[in-house]
Amino acid sequence: MMELEEQLRKRSGNKCEMCGSGDTLKLYEVQPQSGSNQDNCMLACDKCQAQIDRKEELDNTHWSRLSETMWSEVPGIQVISWRMLNRLRHESWAMDNLEMMYLSEETLAWAKATGDHDNDASVELHKDSNGKVLRDGDAVILIKSLDVKGSTLNAKMGTVVKNIRLVQDNTEQIEGKIEGQIIVILTKYVRKQNSN
């Protein structure tokens, strides 16, 4: 993997291959794939990766370079460009680019494989009772006393739960440790603790 990342750094000139940023760059594997190589991987910044993976709201202005990246000769970059243009298709510039873009049959089949292009720009995020986005490692405060099923534990209102974990397949649930027990907590019963 290190060797592949070095090849990608050389190919990209140490810049994000989607937005051109030089910020924290990491290897990104375009799914689905069976083995990582230069054709199905790219170098991407944290912001691009978070938005591609729907871990952050889609920022239309951040994707202005899609007009250039869609012409890349790297199949993985073509696939992500096509998927992101589809998610931004409510923007006239993205629709224009989609109409111009050409993908080989094989690459188009790969681009459609995740079904991501059928979804709009909306993102499902874990949010607290006030609508603040929750992330792994955050601390939250219970806004209601909760009885824990299958135990005698009663988590009192005002209890601080540190270092939470997001439940991946359910944006309405988080996991946290209360009195040494890991429990599932509904996000509507927590408030994110201010970090400052």
Q: How many CB atoms lie within 10 A of CB 5?
A: 15
Task: State the Cα–Cα distance between residues 122 and 58, nearest whole angstrom.
Answer: 7
Residue 29 has a pLDDT of 94
Assigned CATH for 140-192: 2.30.30.40
d(CA 185, CA 196): 24
pTM greater than 0.85: no
> How do 140-142 and 160-161 pair as beta strands?
antiparallel
- Element at 177 (helix H, strand E): strand 173-178
Half-sphere exposure of 181 (CA within 13 A, CB side): 13
DSSP character string of 103-162? --HHHHHHHHTT-GGGS-S-----B-TTSPBP-TT--EEESS-EEPTTSS-EE-TT-EE-
Say what the pLDDT of residue 86 is: 92
Q: What is the pLDDT of residue 196?
A: 46
pLDDT digits (tens, 9 = 90+) for 5-14: 999 999 999 9
Q: Provide the pLDDT for residue 122.
A: 60
Domains of the chain: which residue ranges? 2-118, 140-192
- Residues 41, 52 contacting (CB under 8 angstroms): no
Per-residue pLDDT reduced to its tens digit, 11-48: 999 999 999 999 899 999 999 988 899 999 999 999 99
Out of 51-55, 123-127, 142-146, 158-162, pick the least confident: 123-127
Helix/strand/coil for 41:
strand
How far apart are the C-alpha atoms of 172 and 56, rounded to whole Å?
16
